[in-house]
Structure 1
Amino acid sequence: MNSFLDDCAADILRKYDNNDAVCVVFPNKRTMLHFRKSYARIKNEVSFSGHLYPIDKVFNQFLPSVKADDLTLLFKLYDAFRQVFAHEGMKNAGIAADFDAFYDSGRKILSDFNEIDNYLVDINQLCRNFADLSEIDAFYAPSMAQEVIEIIRQFWANFSQQRLSNEKARYLELWTGLPKVYQIFRQSLTEAHVCYTGMKNRAICDLIDQKGLDTKYATYIFVGFNVLNKCERKIFRYLYNAKKARFYWDADDYYISDKVQEAGLFMRRLIDEFPDELHGKRPPNLIVGNPKQVEYIGVPLEVGQAKCVHDIITQLSKLPDYNETRTAVVLGDEHLLFPVLNSLPACVERVNVTMGYPFVETPVYSFLLNCLQLRRNYRANRTGGDYYYNDVLAVINHPLVVNIPEFCSKQIEARIREERLIRVNADLIGSYGNLLSIIFCSQENEKQPADIIQTFLTILSELYFAKNPEPTETPKLENEFIFNAYTSLKSLYNNVLTLPQDISPDLVASIVKEHLVGIKVPFESDDDNGIQLTGMMETRNLDFDNVIMIGMNEGVFPKRSENNSFVTEGMRLAFDMPVVKYKDAVFGYFFYRLLQRAKNVKV
């Protein structure tokens, strides 16, 4: 059976071949790369004669702009927040007192502002203060349904003066002050000629209202999208009404026709609003219409699931039509990557890993975490500073470094125990070698936040060369982990250099840790050969004959959702912003679309 992208490529080739005025738009680069391969197979040519772009590149053509990094955005948001709340007697003055106190709340506000813009919410309506609940009907009635107004009324009923605790009073002050913060914040970004994603998308929508978009191509073909925010829908609608947009939806009648199926929550509306080029408003019936073998297997423990993959692939490999390239092992839990890799049977000739591995699962992360803990308990003194002995032992005995000769782990540990040291002088440990002198340095030399990050960059650089004294043609996996940590922290270092320097060392340490937690080691490839070992999100728009899904337990796939926002679920529902159940719908879609063209499915 042809894949979704094969069908799209064939239809686009038939309708738009050799048309330089056509732009094909994709939700991500991976889908774009696989479309290019489908096109090349069908036409026996290397590349598509039109133009292929991920959606962010197309939006940048409509409105060229520079996206600021998160730290820059947080500092500008902090300046705006202080202008509104840093006044004596205000209940949120404590948060506005310094950047450390503001940091966690600032991240929430920044995320909320991004969604407010992406979903075209009027923040003045969202955060309007009502002294009397009777005002709510008069204010919202002209534009909102009665059931939505009731949700808003319930929200404000929680803030009656009779039940206004200190916590609620602080939240109410923050809530009603957000429109002013939003206005000042966006103005400062405009003056600096930078933006965040939602701000840019909303600006494109404003252009539509004012004068329309300057479109570079006669036709925009959107392939493989499944959930759009309001800004994206408005832009798509503008192009569609101008007869400049065509759409290819990867959907199935099984979950589109059944209104109860959460997998079709977003796609039903999109297909109705923007008919599909291949199937109009009625997608094909692939899940039920195509014969397939589906088996659910109960396996105890995560390691058991990984070992089960061995047996399943061995069985599948004996089928007469088995194709390794058309086989995917999909991980609902990304932590299972290495257990699965270590469990693959000998019959597997090639493996193509196309997912990011969480850096927090690597030995490099735990080593750096030990270094952060070491620094946290540092104590300055007249002899150059000292460290707590348990922290010292955790660093020098870490599996990543314990076998490096320069670390002298046994000698240092023997001396600590022999002399019964509780606090270990930094110079004493540093005397054993260059790398140790960097890790156990005197922190008084770090005058600025960027100096702390520079110390970690130097540690990673020296660690790499200590573990690789001789050049090798076969790169070690640990080297990949070190390299990814270095490049990520280097980016953070460059960002911090441009920011105000009034950040405490503790906050810098927290930012470094948060940055490391967010790293995904990119085991990515556009190679089609071999078994595809991938995450659920990476399967978007791709089809396989044999699908093995593991780590699909409740609470693991999808992960438990948290509403880390100042906008309550009720108000989100009232103003048509994303709610927690939307995440389940997105993952439900990814699950069912994998079944559409598969022949053998093991869960």
Structure 2
Amino acid sequence: MTTFILDVLQDLKKKQINFTEVTFVLPSKRAGVFLKNQLPRVLDHTLFAPKIISIEEFVEAIAGLESTSNTELLFEFYNSYLQISKGDEIDSFEVFSKWAQILLQDFNEIDRYLIPQEHIFKYLAAIEDLKHWSLEEPKTEFVKNYLAFWNKLFDYYKHFTQHLIEQGIAYQGLIYREAAKHIKTYIQDHEDNQYIFLGFNALNSAEEIIIQEILQHDLGEIYWDIDKVFFENPLHDAGLFTRQHKKKWNIFNSQPFEWITNNYSKQKEITVLGIPKNIGQAKYIGTILQELHQEDATLENTAVILGDENLLIPVLNSIPDTIENLNITMGFPLKSIPLASFFDALFNIHKTPSKSFYYKDIIKLISHQFIRPLFLVEDIDYASLVIETIDSNNMVYLSVKRLKQLAPPCASVIDLLFTNWQISIDQALSNCSNLILAIKEHLDKNSKSDILSLEYLFRFNALFNDLTQLNNTHEHIKDISTLYSVYNELLNSESLDFQGEPLQGLQVMGMLESRVLDFETVIISSVNEGVLPSGKSNNSFIPYDVKLENKLPTYKEKDAVYTYHFYRLLQRAKRVFILYNTEADALTGGEKSRFITQLELEGIHNIKHQIIAPQVPILEQKLTVVKKNAALNRAIAKLASGGFSPSSLTNYIRNPIDFYYQNILKIRDHNDVEETVAANTLGTVVHNTLEDLYKPLINSFIDIEMIKSLKSKIEERVIHHFKTEYKEGDITKGKNLIISEIAKRYVSNFLDLEIKSLKAGNQIKIIAIEAQNDILINLPELDFPVRLRGIVDRVDAYNGVIRIIDYKTGKVDQNQVEITNWEDITTDYKKYSKSFQILAYAYMMQQKGLVKFPIEAGIISFKNMGAGFLKFSKKEAGSRSKNALITEDTLIAFEKELKHIILEICDSQIDFTEKEV
């Protein structure tokens, strides 16, 4: 296929240009690689390669200045700020960096477009004065400081730029301004040089002056790459800048404007694909490449252009394994690699000085893929030990000393992670560097060392070296929060460059990297409004109308730049796939780009439009069934011999699969740290406290004075049991303090209920507290013993009637302990589980001969204490009458249902089948 670069080289050959003596100036370094590759196609003899440079390199050579990093500029700018801004209103470096970033961008734009600096800064100050404050008299201190800031902008600029020039460094805009100032001198010193400019589109004012001066001195030529369709249409943004250049540059009055080509109108196969979500686009790119690979094994004339560069990793993961040659012309942001998440978590725990650390932050750090191996000592995983101890002891905040007690061999790593960060910034940076070295040492010991991980470590080591150098040179970083801010600034500007053969195989690149390059097949992703083009954004101190007046670029010009790049990719391509996201995402809005609509309205090409929907299989929701086999039957027999508890049987009634997991397989829910006391912990504390208070009263008739004397013991017993159950959890503040008080109130209310009952003349005798029961159940159908076991909270004699009482810290109502049909007690868990439990307790105690009829069984609900003792009742169908006394007939009817449910569990022919929720 023909390419713009090849056409330029062939034209230069016709003009008999000596390539050895020519300097090619291109928009990017990437284009230079392709130009050098194309040279042999037009040469018929051996020669020294021409000099090929980017426009940035060329301008730096003219200006005699070197560009520096944005972070370095921020530190240098702060030096100027400190010298000019005297007094108490000086911002800290962290606060300064927030607004200084925007101001540096404005400095850059003002210089690139050669705007008179003093004029525009004074103009901005006058606008602010007029817009907000001129009518306010007298002006407040805040207003004075605000206006003083705007009045000092030119002073900041002047001091800062002079300081940079003295050091021989500069930001891009200043380099361009200085280059434009010195271009005539440069030309006089390089009269024998010849320059070829190619592939340019939007030029800033400095570039225009530089290139025009060179052309007017007959020291070079410029080749534009614009198609007739765009150039001749005054409304088409793809030709906006080239139309302006042809009109305004005097050189084109006497020299031809090269070139206006006619490639876009040639036949093309353009397919527009609407695909849900970004990940859907990445996956479909893989499908397209698989089909293309079958046609062209090399894919050397195929490019994947990522409108959204965050799609790089998903796209790389979607490329078929059969595609061997691949070149990526874009860096992978350091902020996206796993090590970045570790340092982000590390900085976050140290931004606020503290002697103890939140358990989730600790777990996050020691569980990180790069740190966890450092806690593996002599095959003991100390990270797991620490996490298990935190969980089991409810440790919400831990000190460094406590961590070292939990993992003594890992003390040095714990120190690096958690100690001495507040001593100095140098110490914090040293800790980070030493952590990197510790991780590297571990990787080096591993015979199967992870090369990519080592590359990550190398880049982060370089980043922290830069931070250390900046801190040593400027000493502006005063605290960890500021260090974190500067670290993030560096992190966002750094990338991990991929290595590959730049001229072989499939090309994956961003939109800007595609400048000057041509491909037969182009796949462009994320062609949505807000991405391509990016749309309105005003990250600037300069208002829109001031930019228009001073001919500074606005979002309209930036959109025109991307319009040109988009259409230029289409000019010489034969097959184009344009992908956009159909879903309404937070940032992109789910709206296809205006570029797609414009393509359709032009009517030049036949556009195929498809909406791609992923194939979503219909998954039939099947209930889990566990087939019973010999091994499972043996496990059930073993469980039956050990004894079923009433709660395990109600667990089966609720859902047989839960019974299988919890009671057969013994799978328990993971015990997470209880930051707030859980309901079951509260219940255990209340139960245990009442046990302590009432056990000494067994076989005694209680009286009012006896119960009143128990009240003085409540506080001590509740705190004791919280320490036992809640381990190292803190109940002295927050919600936990409230819950501990609730526990005391529950117990106190229970004692008040007892006193009220005694004052009413009732006699109460304590028979048993936390009575343990274990009985054999006669089941001739089974060839193994079956036991029923359980603990009854309290048994007493109330006016001579035996009561079996179960405590519930949750709310229970009377209707939850009433039953009409006995069959329902083993089928309806929600209504009758509590009735089943208390009847099971009554049945066990009656079978052991510990109680005699008549019996009452029921619940005391601590959240419904006013209802008193909630008795089990048997209601007659169709009648309002109910019987609260448990007789022999009651327990015979219950025994029938109890045996039925146990036989069902033990039946080898009845599988464990999940119940529909």
TM-score band, normalised by the shorter chain?
0.7 to 0.9
The normalised TM-score by structure 2 is: 0.57
* Structure with greater strand percent: 2
Counterpart of 2:292 in structure 1 is: 316
Verify: 1:73 aligned to 2:50, yes or no.
no
Verify: 1:236 aligned to 2:230, yes or no.
no
Match of 2:366 among 396, 404, 413: 396
Q: Which one-letter code corresponds to 1:284 in the other structure?
A: T
Q: In the TM superposition, what is the alpha-carbon distance from 1:85 to its structure 2 partner? A: 3.7
Q: Which one-letter code corresponds to 2:397 in the other structure?
A: R
User: Using a 3 Å threshold, how does the CA distance of structure 1 residues 78 and 341 change in structure 2: closer, same or farther?
Assistant: closer
Distance in 2 of aligned mates of 1:520 and 1:550: 21
Verify: 1:182 aligned to 2:136, yes or no.
no
3-state SS of the aligned residue for 1:498?
helix
Match of 1:421 among 386, 395, 414: 395
Distance in 2 of aligned mates of 1:441 and 1:277: 72
Deviates more, 1:410-419 or 1:267-276: 267-276
| 1:453-602 pair list within 5 angstroms | 453-472=429-448, 476-501=451-476, 503-559=478-534, 561-602=536-577
Q: In the TM superposition, what is the alpha-carbon distance from 1:302 to its structure 2 partner? A: 1.9
Distance in 2 of aligned mates of 1:344 and 1:557: 23
Distance in 2 of aligned mates of 1:130 and 1:374: 41
Distance in 2 of aligned mates of 1:355 and 1:65: 26
Deviates more, 1:532-541 or 1:369-378: 369-378
Counterpart of 1:387 in structure 2 is: 357
Q: Report how many residues are paired.
A: 567
Distance in 2 of aligned mates of 1:339 and 1:598: 25
Distance in 2 of aligned mates of 1:168 and 1:508: 31
Q: In the TM superposition, what is the alpha-carbon distance from 1:19 to its structure 2 partner? A: 4.9
User: Using a 3 Å threshold, how does the CA distance of structure 1 residues 254 and 476 change in structure 2: closer, same or farther?
Assistant: farther
Q: Which one-letter code corresponds to 1:101 in the other structure?
A: V
Counterpart of 2:93 in structure 1 is: 99
Deviates more, 1:43-52 or 1:511-520: 43-52
Distance in 1 of aligned mates of 2:488 and 2:186: 45
Deviates more, 1:196-205 or 1:421-430: 421-430
Counterpart of 1:452 in structure 2 is: 428
Q: In the TM superposition, what is the alpha-carbon distance from 1:437 to its structure 2 partner? A: 3.3
Counterpart of 1:126 in structure 2 is: 120
Distance in 2 of aligned mates of 1:202 and 1:392: 51
Distance in 2 of aligned mates of 1:181 and 1:409: 51
Distance in 1 of aligned mates of 2:415 and 2:86: 40
User: Using a 3 Å threshold, how does the CA distance of structure 1 residues 356 and 210 change in structure 2: closer, same or farther?
Assistant: closer
Deviates more, 1:220-229 or 1:396-405: 396-405
Counterpart of 1:142 in structure 2 is: none
Q: In the TM superposition, what is the alpha-carbon distance from 1:542 to its structure 2 partner? A: 1.1
Counterpart of 2:382 in structure 1 is: 408
The answer to whether the Cα contact below 8 Å between 1:23 and 1:217 also exists between their aligned partners in 2 is: no
Counterpart of 1:41 in structure 2 is: 41
Distance in 2 of aligned mates of 1:47 and 1:307: 46
3-state SS of the aligned residue for 1:158?
helix
The answer to whether the Cα contact below 8 Å between 2:307 and 2:532 also exists between their aligned partners in 1 is: yes
Match of 1:286 among 263, 271, 293: 263
3-state SS of the aligned residue for 1:247?
strand
Output one character per residue of 1:254-285: Cα deviation in whole Å (capped at 9) or x when no partner.
22222222222223223453659997355112
Q: Which one-letter code corresponds to 1:77 in the other structure?
A: F
The answer to whether the Cα contact below 8 Å between 1:249 and 1:271 also exists between their aligned partners in 2 is: no
Counterpart of 2:604 in structure 1 is: none
3-state SS of the aligned residue for 2:489?
helix
| 1:95-494 pair list within 5 angstroms | 96-128=90-122, 158-159=131-132, 161-162=134-135, 171-208=146-183, 214-215=189-190, 217-272=192-247, 273=249, 280=257, 283-288=260-265, 290-319=266-295, 324-379=299-354, 385-402=355-372, 405=376, 408-429=382-403, 431-433=408-410, 436-437=413-414, 439-443=416-420, 446-447=423-424, 449-472=425-448, 476-494=451-469
The answer to whether the Cα contact below 8 Å between 1:354 and 1:524 also exists between their aligned partners in 2 is: no
User: Using a 3 Å threshold, how does the CA distance of structure 1 residues 345 and 69 change in structure 2: closer, same or farther?
Assistant: closer
Q: Which one-letter code corresponds to 1:490 in the other structure?
A: N
Q: Flag the structure with more relative contact order, 1 or 2, with Cα contacts below 8 A and sequence separation at least 6.
A: 1
Distance in 1 of aligned mates of 2:86 and 2:337: 42
Q: Which one-letter code corresponds to 2:101 in the other structure?
A: R
The answer to whether the Cα contact below 8 Å between 1:247 and 1:277 also exists between their aligned partners in 2 is: no
Q: In the TM superposition, what is the alpha-carbon distance from 1:115 to its structure 2 partner? A: 1.8
The normalised TM-score by structure 1 is: 0.85
Distance in 2 of aligned mates of 1:351 and 1:118: 36
Q: In the TM superposition, what is the alpha-carbon distance from 1:34 to its structure 2 partner? A: 0.9
Deviates more, 1:28-37 or 1:386-395: 386-395
Q: Which one-letter code corresponds to 1:393 in the other structure?
A: I
3-state SS of the aligned residue for 2:23?
strand
The answer to whether the Cα contact below 8 Å between 1:547 and 1:602 also exists between their aligned partners in 2 is: yes
Deviates more, 1:587-596 or 1:185-194: 185-194
User: Using a 3 Å threshold, how does the CA distance of structure 1 residues 61 and 217 change in structure 2: closer, same or farther?
Assistant: farther
3-state SS of the aligned residue for 1:120?
coil
User: Using a 3 Å threshold, how does the CA distance of structure 1 residues 209 and 177 change in structure 2: closer, same or farther?
Assistant: farther
3-state SS of the aligned residue for 2:15?
helix
3-state SS of the aligned residue for 2:218?
coil
Output one character per residue of 1:479-512: Cα deviation in whole Å (capped at 9) or x when no partner.
3333333323323332332113453221011111
Distance in 1 of aligned mates of 2:499 and 2:254: 31
User: Using a 3 Å threshold, how does the CA distance of structure 1 residues 201 and 416 change in structure 2: closer, same or farther?
Assistant: same
Distance in 1 of aligned mates of 2:313 and 2:514: 19
The answer to whether the Cα contact below 8 Å between 2:108 and 2:172 also exists between their aligned partners in 1 is: yes
Counterpart of 1:15 in structure 2 is: 15
The answer to whether the Cα contact below 8 Å between 1:129 and 1:176 also exists between their aligned partners in 2 is: no
Q: In the TM superposition, what is the alpha-carbon distance from 1:441 to its structure 2 partner? A: 4.1
Distance in 2 of aligned mates of 1:8 and 1:411: 68
Output one character per residue of 1:396-442: Cα deviation in whole Å (capped at 9) or x when no partner.
12344446635732111122234433332335546443772354242
The answer to whether the Cα contact below 8 Å between 1:335 and 1:361 also exists between their aligned partners in 2 is: no
3-state SS of the aligned residue for 2:274?
coil
3-state SS of the aligned residue for 1:495?
helix
3-state SS of the aligned residue for 1:298?
strand
User: Using a 3 Å threshold, how does the CA distance of structure 1 residues 539 and 386 change in structure 2: closer, same or farther?
Assistant: same
Counterpart of 2:50 in structure 1 is: 50
Deviates more, 1:45-54 or 1:25-34: 45-54
Deviates more, 1:77-86 or 1:272-281: 272-281
3-state SS of the aligned residue for 1:80?
helix
Q: Which one-letter code corresponds to 1:306 in the other structure?
A: A
Q: In the TM superposition, what is the alpha-carbon distance from 1:304 to its structure 2 partner? A: 1.7
Distance in 2 of aligned mates of 1:280 and 1:450: 59
User: Using a 3 Å threshold, how does the CA distance of structure 1 residues 582 and 47 change in structure 2: closer, same or farther?
Assistant: farther
Distance in 2 of aligned mates of 1:337 and 1:401: 27
Q: In the TM superposition, what is the alpha-carbon distance from 1:217 to its structure 2 partner? A: 4.2
Q: In the TM superposition, what is the alpha-carbon distance from 1:221 to its structure 2 partner? A: 0.9
Output one character per residue of 1:271-325: Cα deviation in whole Å (capped at 9) or x when no partner.
453659997355112111x211001011112222122123322333444x77511
Q: Which one-letter code corresponds to 2:56 in the other structure?
A: D
Q: In the TM superposition, what is the alpha-carbon distance from 1:120 to its structure 2 partner? A: 0.8
Structure 1 residue runs without a partner (length 5+): 88-92, 133-151, 380-384
Q: Which one-letter code corresponds to 1:465 in the other structure?
A: E
Distance in 2 of aligned mates of 1:368 and 1:486: 12
3-state SS of the aligned residue for 1:601?
strand
Q: Which one-letter code corresponds to 1:199 in the other structure?
A: L
Deviates more, 1:347-356 or 1:398-407: 398-407
Output one character per residue of 1:303-355: Cα deviation in whole Å (capped at 9) or x when no partner.
22122123322333444x77511111211122222222222235424222222
